[in-house]
Structure 1
Amino acid sequence: MKTIINTTNAPAPIGPYSQAVAASGFLFVSGQVPINPATGEVVTTGIIDEAKLVMENLKAILTEAGLGFESVIKTNIFLTDMQTFAQVNEVYGAYFTANFPARETVQVSALPKGVNVEISVIALKP
């Protein structure tokens, strides 16, 4: 059985998918991009601002599911420019401070809406 998780505190999906799905004790959160959930506008004011908004969107979805970043066991980071890795990593590190999840970071040729960063997570429900 699966439960669909959606919140108005994160951007609405831009395609046929859910913000997150809970199943078998796990929460699978779809990749989040820097879209302001209040306005629906893409934020492209710099990689730090973009990464912060992505993390806040993830936080909103985790919160809706009754979880926090401490429950995250795996993350996937997609960047359009690996030269921004250090900046994104710094923002990411402000949200994950101990018992870090497994992670990979990859450079891709493009992301939806022309953004520069997308992050998805998998969390373990207690």
Structure 2
Amino acid sequence: MTKTTKRLLAASAVLALATQLHAEPEFLNSGSVLPTNLPFSEAVVVGETVYLSGQIGNMPGTLTLAEGGIAGETKQVMENIKTSLNAHGLGLENLVKCTVMLADIGEWGAFNDVYKTYFAEGRFPARAAFGANGLAVGARVEVDCVGAK
């Protein structure tokens, strides 16, 4: 790669970032996953970046958690994330970063067993996971994500 090509790529990246920083946020609520009376948006899009609010393993349209402990809730969390993304024209392949909060960090392995089935091998978003006390409505797991269009 020539020096000129590198400079053009760097300038292009700076221009793309500047455009995104000046983009108006778009606040999205499909009503497909969470009750619409909660005080946050399901997702916010700024430029080409999509920020998903944390999802718990609630049954769509309710705050009732899926049955089956960590495995059942994790499956529902991932289905909720997929539903939210699909409602806005995106898919799991658009995710670039997820943050996982577990009520019991000892369930990290059981969470991973379900989580990994939602992604193509080797195509996992960057991720952080930590133990958290007092997740909403007594959930065992919550996952928030960032995606790219």
The question of a shared fold, defined as TM-score above 0.5 by the shorter chain, is answered with: yes
Give a deviation string over 1:37-86, Cα, whole Å, max 9, x none: 14442224311000000000000111011111111000000001011111
Aligned position for 1:91: 114
Higher relative contact order (CA closer than 8 Å, sequence separation 6+) = 1
Provide the rounded CA distance (Å) in 2 between the counterparts of 1:101 and 1:30.
16
Aligned position for 1:68: 91
Which 4+ stretches in 1 moved above 3 angstroms? none
Aligned position for 2:65: 42
When you count strand as a share of all residues, which structure comes out higher?
A: 1
Aligned position for 1:23: 46
Among 58, 78, 91, the residue aligned to 1:55? 78
Among 95, 101, 105, the residue aligned to 2:129? 105
Q: What is the percentage of aligned positions where both structures have the same residue?
A: 33
CA gap of 1:113–1:7, structure 2 versus 1, over 3 A, is same
TM-score, structure 1 as length reference: 0.91
Aligned length: 125
When you count helix as a share of all residues, which structure comes out higher?
A: 2
Unmatched 5+ residue regions in structure 2?
1-23
Provide the rounded CA distance (Å) in 2 between the counterparts of 1:55 and 1:64.
14
Of residues 108-117 and 41-50 in structure 1, the stretch that sits farther from structure 2 once superposed is 41-50
CA gap of 1:25–1:10, structure 2 versus 1, over 3 A, is same
Residue type of the partner of 2:137? K
Unmatched 5+ residue regions in structure 1?
none
